[in-house]
Amino acid sequence: MKKSIFLETFFSYLLIIVLVVLLVFLFSANIIRAQYVDSVQRSLGQLAAALRQNFVPLLVAQDDASLGKLVRELEKEIDVRITVIAVDGRVLADSQGDRRQMENHADRPEFILAMQGKPAQFSRVSSTLHRAMLYQAVPIRDNGRTIAVLRLSQFVSEIDRMLIPTRRKIITLLAVLLALALGVAFLYARYLTEPIKRLTLAAHQVAVGDFSPRVRVNRRDELRQLADAFNQMVEQQKMLLESVQRQQLELETILASIGEGLLVLDRDGRIILANQSFKKICRQPECQGRLYWEILRDSRLNDLIKRSLEQREDTRGELDINDCVYLVHVSPLAQERPLIVTFSDVSEYKRLEKIKRDFVSNLSHELRTPLTAIKGFVETLAEESSIQNHNYLEIINRHTERMVNMVKNLLTLAEMEEPRMRLEKKRIDLLQLAENVAVIFAARCRAKNIHLEVTASPGLPAFFGDPFRLEQLFINLVDNAVKYTERGKIAVSLAGRERGIEIRVKDTGPGIAAEHLPRIFERFYVVDPSRSREQGGTGLGLAIAKHIVLLHDGRIEAFSQPDQGTEFIIILPLVPEA
């Protein structure tokens, strides 16, 4: 292993063991030396006590020469320096020096204590020999009187020299113990880190996608728990990966089977996922990882995606791609702002819609001429016919009029559905427009005893729109209300809303059942066909009204319950004047 937990563990143990060995060596050496010095001090004290009486006769006789000879002879026997000091501090004899050249010893601490009759043991540097020495001094007495001081001394270096064999034995013993401890530390560090090494190797295999390795640890500690947790994690990861791969395969199969083009974009507009249908639409085999505008350069697609990102809501629009028309649906997801874009081919639908629109337009144009002729002849015949045939001609005239109105409405719808249809927008006072329409229906309302009311909230803003189409909107809604209301009132109200105008048309008619409400804006759909025929309805009025609202980028809704009337609510957004 490199610089790893094994080396860190081993060197930690090595450092601790070395420190312990050094401390043991220093501590034991100091203790042994202290005990040895204490033993030497006791030996010197005992020796001094035994020798001091040998010097009394020579001191009394003041025989300095014999005194010097005696101390030198005794030193040879006991290997200890011997010094005899007079009570005034003069050195009378010394076994290793010339007493005449030695300074007065009255200030020596061992001499002072000995003169006081106290034990005198000291370790200091000799002023004469300039070496560390141990001193032991005892008074020499004659007839109860101190006549001199006997001092024995020994070099400290001699003591250290004598301790060398002992220190060698200690060092040898500690070296053996150090080697054993290091061996044990090496084996334990290896024992401790081997499972970690195996876990590391297994983790590297798992990281590259190999989920086969398992780690077995024959221990009962935390490393065993770690190995078991690792094995369990690998097993769960393997199962999770298999599940993800299976789901991914299913997703790829589903996406490949979808006929619609599917595109997933990240927040930067980069393609995360594109199915085969989209690749066929844009004729680009490789799309993933590229920006969507590199694949499809269309400003309308950019606008849809931008609006969906800003408003965080679904947007829809139509795009022409490679001579085909696609309904594009952009849907934002909640997390990290990705977008789902779908492309539905509506080319055939648009073609059929155009065929239907052209058919209705052409048929309406073709029917208008013969219907006008029939109406004219019916009116002529009615003037010349007898009373007996007049009722039949009146029925023919009424149905002809209904067909003429139906043709007109079909032409109006066909005109509004044309892609080239453009509104002639102007600044409009919607309240005045609604009041003008109310005047048109005033006579019919009076005939049915219906109260028609037009109101507006204060400060109603002016609207920028097509006055002809908006008037047609009011006429269709009010006409529908007048036809189906037998009593009560019709209320037309206008109110300003945030960035728009709200229009409500409410009547007190029979109402509409809930199952009919979703379809009332369909062409030719009538709730009660027999009643509609009696009223001369074509079933196109509400469809035209809805188209007018959509042309002004608004929305229309109907709310009704049986026997409680019907209310239409139109929201027209305010737009700046062109």
Q: Which amino acid is at 154?
A: Q
Does residue 253 have a pLDDT over 50?
yes
Q: Quick check: 129 and 65 in contact, CB under 8 A?
A: no
What's the 3-state SS for 254-265?
HHHHCCCEEEEE
pLDDT tens track for 50-104? 777 788 788 777 777 888 888 888 888 877 888 888 888 888 888 877 777 787 8
C-alpha distances (whole Å) from 104 to each of 82, 86, 120, 201, 466 are: 16, 9, 18, 82, 138
Buried b (16+ CB within 10 A) or exposed e, 74-88: bbeebebbbbbbbee
> What distance in Å separates the CA atoms of residue 301 and residue 281, rounded to the nearest whole number?
14
Sequence-distant (6+) residues with CB within 8 A of 259 are 277, 345
DSSP 323-388: TEEEEEEEEE-SSS--EEEEEEE-HHHHHHHHHHHHHHHHHHHHHHHHHHHHHHHHHHHHHHS-HH
> What distance in Å separates the CA atoms of residue 522 and residue 541, rounded to the nearest whole number?
10
| Position 283 confidence tier, pLDDT thresholds 50, 70, 90 | confident
- Among 293, 319, 345, residue at a domain's last position: 345
Paired tokens of 296: 């499809």
C-alpha distances (whole Å) from 310 to each of 12, 305, 339 are: 61, 9, 12
What CATH number did the domain enclosing 402 receive?
Answer: 1.10.287.130
Would you say residue 408 lies in a domain? yes
Q: Please check whether residues 393 and 436 belong to one and the same domain.
A: no
Sheet holding 91-94, edge to edge: 91-94, 81-86, 145-155, 132-142, 120-125
Q: Please check whether residues 357 and 467 belong to one and the same domain.
A: no
At residue 386, the pLDDT reads 61
pLDDT tens track for 10-55? 777 778 878 887 887 777 777 776 676 677 777 777 777 777 778 8
pLDDT tens track for 303-317? 888 888 777 788 888
Q: Please check whether residues 460 and 482 belong to one and the same domain.
A: yes
Task: Record the pTM.
Answer: 0.43
pLDDT tens track for 327-384? 888 888 766 667 888 888 887 777 776 766 666 666 566 666 676 777 676 667 666 6
At residue 532, the pLDDT reads 46
> What distance in Å separates the CA atoms of residue 512 and residue 499, rounded to the nearest whole number?
31
Domains in the chain: how many in total?
A: 5
Q: Please check whether residues 410 and 468 belong to one and the same domain.
A: no
Would you say residue 479 lies in a domain? yes
Does residue 220 have a pLDDT over 80?
no
What's the 3-state SS for 135-176?
EEEEEEEECCEEEEEEEEEEEHHHHHHHHHHHHHHHHHHHHH
Sheet holding 315-321, edge to edge: 271-274, 261-265, 339-345, 324-332, 315-321
Does residue 533 have a pLDDT over 50?
no
Position with higher pLDDT, 544 vs 6 = 544
Would you say residue 167 lies in a domain? no
- Among 309, 326, 345, residue at a domain's last position: 345
Q: Please check whether residues 53 and 149 belong to one and the same domain.
A: yes
DSSP state of 429: -
What CATH number did the domain enclosing 12 receive?
Answer: 3.30.450.20
Q: Please check whether residues 471 and 557 belong to one and the same domain.
A: yes
Q: Please check whether residues 312 and 452 belong to one and the same domain.
A: no
| Position 506 confidence tier, pLDDT thresholds 50, 70, 90 | very high
> What distance in Å separates the CA atoms of residue 49 and residue 150, rounded to the nearest whole number?
9
Paired tokens of 120: 């005198």
At residue 530, the pLDDT reads 46
| Position 300 confidence tier, pLDDT thresholds 50, 70, 90 | confident
**CA-closest candidate to residue 258, choices 198, 342, 167:** 342
Does residue 492 have a pLDDT over 90?
yes
Would you say residue 70 lies in a domain? yes
DSSP state of 270: B
- Among 162, 184, 202, residue at a domain's last position: 162
Q: Please check whether residues 392 and 523 belong to one and the same domain.
A: no
pLDDT tens track for 132-183? 677 788 888 888 788 888 888 776 666 666 667 777 777 787 788 878 878 8
At residue 453, the pLDDT reads 92
Would you say residue 194 lies in a domain? no
CA angle 322, 326, 327 (to 5 degrees): 160
Mean pLDDT of the chain: 78
pLDDT tens track for 396-441? 776 676 676 666 666 666 666 666 667 788 888 889 999 999 998 8
Would you say residue 197 lies in a domain? no
Q: Please check whether residues 273 and 373 belong to one and the same domain.
A: no
Determine the straight-line distance between the first and last CA of the chain, rounded to whole angstroms: 79
Q: Please check whether residues 556 and 443 belong to one and the same domain.
A: yes
> What distance in Å separates the CA atoms of residue 96 and residue 153, rounded to the nearest whole number?
11
Q: Please check whether residues 358 and 460 belong to one and the same domain.
A: no
C-alpha distances (whole Å) from 447 to each of 163, 452, 533, 534, 541 are: 142, 12, 20, 17, 22
Would you say residue 184 lies in a domain? no
**Which residue range(s) make up the domain with 550?**
426-573
At residue 568, the pLDDT reads 92
At residue 493, the pLDDT reads 92
Q: Please check whether residues 235 and 367 belong to one and the same domain.
A: no
Would you say residue 86 lies in a domain? yes
